[in-house]
Amino acid sequence: MTVLDQAGAPVAPAAAPRRRVPLPHLGERGGVVAAFVVLVVLASLTLDGFATWANVVNVVGANSVALALAVGSTFVIIAGGIDLSVVSMTAASGMVVGLLFAAGAPTALSVLGGLAAGLLLGVVNGVLVSWVRISFLVVTLGMASIAASIALLVADGSTINVFDLPAFGALNTFATGTLGPVPIVLLFDVALVLVAAGVLGYTRFGRAVFAVGSNPEAARLNGIDVRTTTLAVYAIAGLAAGVAGLVSVGRLTGASPQIDPSLLNGVLAAVLIGGTSFSGGKGSIGGTVLGVLFLGVVQNAMTLADISSFWRQAVNGVLLILAVGLGLVRTRAQRRERAAARAVGSGPTGTSGASRA
């Protein structure tokens, strides 16, 4: 099998009669990339105010919370799990930040407190999943409810306004300020994404995350500590929720115990659209960024086009099913081709393209 498929997945010894250019990353998510490009071009041509720097800043700001959560969730989903509690943990750690500010704590302490709160909740998830071995769906569904209640209980359901507090100034600058024309939060997002991608791609831990998601028994027999790895990914998701809580408080100038019920769907949809798979062992931070951007830009374009926000979730849902469904159709076609190639030759390289040409 030399020409793998129409989507241009890895290809071909040199002797192949027909040769495609290998597109290693585009291959997986080629459809989403193409759709994204078409969307941007169309929106630029038809919508006033879309192709402006101000709008870019706007999109980045509006999606920073989702991006942090999606990056954290990517670790969990690659490791074969899922964390349904990230949004609730965001609200809870945001409330901790708000309380600390309101109590007069200095900026650094409030920030660390928020991160610690997220991390702690994530570690609780991780311990219950990896050591007590309760299903991750049960644990994180439970934590979603518990953290939501914590967020309401700590301030009796009220929003904590921190706008006037001097210690809050730095956090506000972080979330809404700019460095020249560049939003500080954009620089932070870029750093976050690079660190996360580096950890997944270039560390022992990153490899362990993929291995545990792909085949925990094979990982274990090769000396990977499956339980610690599992615990760590939920801790990372919790920490990411802490980060999202900070960004959220910084942007809103207050800590609200209310949860946007569509946020979790959006985060998970973005991760899946980015090519990370619920079956584990497959995915990337780059894909997740693409997924968040895609859904964020769609939403932005809809707002600019004056389409009712009631449509937003339906559009997200349709895009999710389309992206994942089309991806599945493609992998199945690839699998059939490989099987056919094996039946004809002795291995994936065994036959030339001649059998097909």
Inter-axis angle of helices 184-202 and 53-78, to 10 degrees?
30
- Options 87-95, 152-160, 185-193, 335-343: segment touching other proteins (CB under 8 A): 335-343
Residue 343 is encoded by which pair of tokens? 């039946």
Of 203 and 309, the one with the shorter C-beta distance to other proteins is 203
Amino acid making up residue 234: Y
Verify binding: residue 19, other proteins, rule CB under 8 A.
no
Of 166 and 347, the one with the shorter C-beta distance to other proteins is 347
Measured distance CA(261)–CA(286) in Å, rounded: 26
Measured distance CA(320)–CA(86) in Å, rounded: 19
Verify binding: residue 207, other proteins, rule CB under 8 A.
yes
- Assess contact for 208 and 199: CB atoms under 8 A: no
Of 223 and 261, the one with the shorter C-beta distance to other proteins is 223
Of 63 and 277, the one with the shorter C-beta distance to other proteins is 277
As measured in angstroms, the least distance from the Cβ of 250 to other proteins is 32
As measured in angstroms, the least distance from the Cβ of 206 to other proteins is 8
Verify binding: residue 236, other proteins, rule CB under 8 A.
no
Q: Which of 348, 352, 353, 356 binds other proteins (CB under 8 A)?
A: 348
Verify binding: residue 214, other proteins, rule CB under 8 A.
yes
The residues, any chain, with a CB within 8 Å of residue 196's CB and separated by 6 or more, are 71, 74, 75, 285
Verify binding: residue 282, other proteins, rule CB under 8 A.
yes
Q: Which of 17, 201, 317, 325 binds other proteins (CB under 8 A)?
A: 201
Verify binding: residue 222, other proteins, rule CB under 8 A.
yes
Of 8 and 348, the one with the shorter C-beta distance to other proteins is 348
As measured in angstroms, the least distance from the Cβ of 29 to other proteins is 15
Verify binding: residue 211, other proteins, rule CB under 8 A.
yes
Verify binding: residue 354, other proteins, rule CB under 8 A.
no
CA dihedral 256, 258, 264, 266 (to 10 degrees): -80
Measured distance CA(284)–CA(202) in Å, rounded: 12
Measured distance CA(25)–CA(27) in Å, rounded: 5
- Options 104-112, 211-219, 300-308, 312-320: segment touching other proteins (CB under 8 A): 211-219
Residue 295 is encoded by which pair of tokens? 């859904």
Burial class (CB within 10 angstroms; exposed 0-12, middle 13-18, buried 19+) of 23? middle
As measured in angstroms, the least distance from the Cβ of 292 to other proteins is 23
Q: Which of 103, 191, 194, 218 binds other proteins (CB under 8 A)?
A: 218
Cβ atoms < 10 Å from Cβ of 14: 6
Q: Which of 14, 21, 132, 221 binds other proteins (CB under 8 A)?
A: 221
Distances (CA, A) of 100 to 150, 176, 239: 15, 20, 18
Verify binding: residue 66, other proteins, rule CB under 8 A.
no
Verify binding: residue 29, other proteins, rule CB under 8 A.
no
Distance of CA 244 to the CA centre of its chain: 12
Verify binding: residue 353, other proteins, rule CB under 8 A.
no
Verify binding: residue 78, other proteins, rule CB under 8 A.
no
Verify binding: residue 197, other proteins, rule CB under 8 A.
no
Verify binding: residue 219, other proteins, rule CB under 8 A.
yes
- Assess contact for 83 and 251: CB atoms under 8 A: no
Residue 16 DSSP code: -
Residue 126 is encoded by which pair of tokens? 């991780």
Verify binding: residue 311, other proteins, rule CB under 8 A.
no
CA angle 86/88/92 to nearest 5° reads: 115
Tokens 């990370």 belong to: 276
**Binding stretches for other proteins (CB under 8 A):** 1-2, 4, 10-13, 24, 201-207, 210-211, 214-215, 217-224, 277, 279, 281-282, 335, 338, 342, 346-350
